[in-house]
Chain A
């Protein structure tokens, strides 16, 4: 369609004979600018896909070929994926268990974030809790602390709580960092929901609890989907906290297990990349499935500046 537009421009030009010359001039310029546009598009495509292509290519390369430095797999094979699924390698002994850990941590974080953040945002925004703005501001402040900067004391505190090497330590850590953002988004989004609905429900005799789950939660569904996904992905993707808090192989999540591939110099890179693809697919699929919510949720606050 875009390639068709210069042609359309030309037909318009020919119907007006007096401007034929300038019409051709514009058509040529149009083709040139369209060409430049396509070129930039191609550059963006290569920039984006090269590392991902490299990952896929390597995952299809036989283990014995990993040092060949090829641009495409000469003898493509799914053997690497079979080895991963069969836990048929030293580094992959607990693959299914670790995948289960990753799923559990992600889901538990999502639930915890949704529950804590929706309750708090309802109390602040709808019930007009007295020190609500203080709570909003503590959340915003927490949101602005880089997680990596509190990793050391967080580790010590988790050890005091007796939670080291427990998946709950990671769930608590990830919830701590996702809840402030969740409250912020819910507060922004909640302001756009008319307050009259609460009033009407109240007149009909609804208690705050009923208003919460009959009015507030259904109306905030898009925002809840966005922050639920955000929390899920944050926990699924986390490396640093998982690496620090979980010490035994049976408790590792997939990112930590992948990190341990590189403790040897001759790491099985093709297996690592196969694991990487299996690990990347669920979050990518989820992201694309709820993309619309994510974009509006993420930009809800930002664009109003």
Chain B
């Protein structure tokens, strides 16, 4: 009965659905839909299935390496991201200067971001070698200090990992925050100066309120990306010494491919979901609104 009642209007809607725009639009999204279904949905669903065995989690939680890894990941994220973004905030102020040579410096400063990560991480790795590396040689020659065993002592190794992560990604975030600063109307600063605001007050009452949203978005985005930063850890320390510098991303790979336990590998990554899911929801809300507009 509903069919007869809606017969005419639905035919009209049906006619509009297959306008040339709709036909072409449908054809145009097919490649994306195919990619999405076969290369995103299918692997993710497969992963959820692989990581759904409770036994994997029992193996995981009874492994001291896993507990150490969770702690490492927390340190890596907590120290690495905050330090990186705070430095980026300061440096974006530095690079906002009108001095011409600062523009040249910014061109050089972007190098760590422009160069692939493998070469520079390997360069660091040799530099940090406690016997032959340049850093300890430098410390000895300049200050007569016997440098620490950077990649041999777990704490120093993790510190080195955080350092290289900051070195690599600082330019990118500085650039983002610099773009944010440049978007602040200059008359706000003029008004503040007329009112006799010191540079610090100008930052606190003009720059920060305008930059706060961008800073928080950057913080969230950087947390997600850093959770997936495999290279900084794997290529510098390989998770060693004695598997003491793993983060979740590298430990998952170790279980799956070194120990042939695919389920435990996926389970390792799944334990990051309590942090990852809220972050993703927050970010989709923050960024998604603009896409739909």
Do A and B interact with each other, yes or no? yes
Which residues of A line the B interface, CB within 8 A? 1-2, 37, 40-41, 44-45, 47-52, 54-55, 58, 66-69, 71, 115-117, 119-120, 122-124, 127-130, 133, 135-142, 144-157, 161, 172-173, 175-176, 179, 183-184, 187-188, 191, 207-209, 212, 233, 236-237, 239-240, 244, 255, 258-259, 262, 269, 272-273, 276-277, 279-280, 283-284, 287-288, 291, 295, 298-299, 301-305
A108 and B39 alpha carbons, distance in the complex (Å): 16
B29 touches A280 (CB 8 A): no
Give the chain A neighbours of B25 by CB distance below 8 A.
123, 127-129, 208
- For residue A187, which residue of chain B has the nearest CB? B291
- For residue A272, which residue of chain B has the nearest CB? B122
A170 and B65 alpha carbons, distance in the complex (Å): 30
Most buried by B among A117, A148, A262, A277: A148
CB distance from A277 to the nearest CB of B (A): 7
- For residue A151, which residue of chain B has the nearest CB? B253
Give the chain A neighbours of B175 by CB distance below 8 A.
295, 298-299
Give which listed residue, B99, B122, B179, contacts A2 with CB less than 8 A.
B99
Total number of A-B contacts with CB less than 8 angstroms? 281
Closest 10 pairs (CB-CB, A-B): A146-B228, A276-B119, A153-B47, A127-B25, A208-B24, A123-B28, A120-B32, A299-B179, A287-B114, A129-B25
Give which listed residue, A55, A148, A155, contacts B123 with CB less than 8 A.
A55
Other A-B pairs, 4, CB within 8 Å; known A48-B109, A51-B167:
A48-B111, A123-B25, A137-B292, A287-B114
Give which listed residue, B44, B141, B262, B284, contacts A137 with CB less than 8 A.
B284
CB distance from A34 to the nearest CB of B (A): 9
CB distance from B69 to the nearest CB of A (A): 14
Q: Is the C-beta of B145 less than 8 angstroms from some C-beta in chain A?
A: no
The stretch of B2-10, B150-158, B186-194, B265-273 in contact with A is B265-273
A123 and B31 alpha carbons, distance in the complex (Å): 11
Give the chain A neighbours of B117 by CB distance below 8 A.
237, 239
B291 touches A37 (CB 8 A): no
B43 touches A150 (CB 8 A): yes
Which residues of B line the A interface, CB within 8 A? 17, 20-22, 24-26, 28-29, 31-33, 35-36, 38-40, 42-44, 46-47, 50, 91, 94, 97, 99-102, 105, 107-112, 114-120, 122-124, 126-127, 131-134, 137-138, 141, 167, 172, 175-176, 179-180, 183, 213-214, 217-218, 224-225, 227-231, 234-235, 249, 252-253, 256-257, 262, 265-266, 269, 272, 276, 279-280, 283-284, 286-288, 290-293
A191 touches B293 (CB 8 A): yes
CB distance from B18 to the nearest CB of A (A): 12
Q: What are 24 inter-chain pairs, A to B, with CB distance below 8 A?
A: A45-B108, A48-B112, A54-B126, A117-B32, A123-B25, A138-B40, A140-B287, A144-B224, A144-B283, A146-B227, A147-B228, A152-B262, A152-B269, A153-B44, A173-B39, A176-B40, A207-B20, A212-B28, A239-B118, A244-B257, A255-B116, A277-B119, A279-B118, A291-B110
CB distance from B288 to the nearest CB of A (A): 6
Most buried by A among B127, B132, B284, B291: B291
A88 and B89 alpha carbons, distance in the complex (Å): 47
B97 touches A37 (CB 8 A): yes
Give the chain A neighbours of B24 by CB distance below 8 A.
123, 127, 207-209, 212
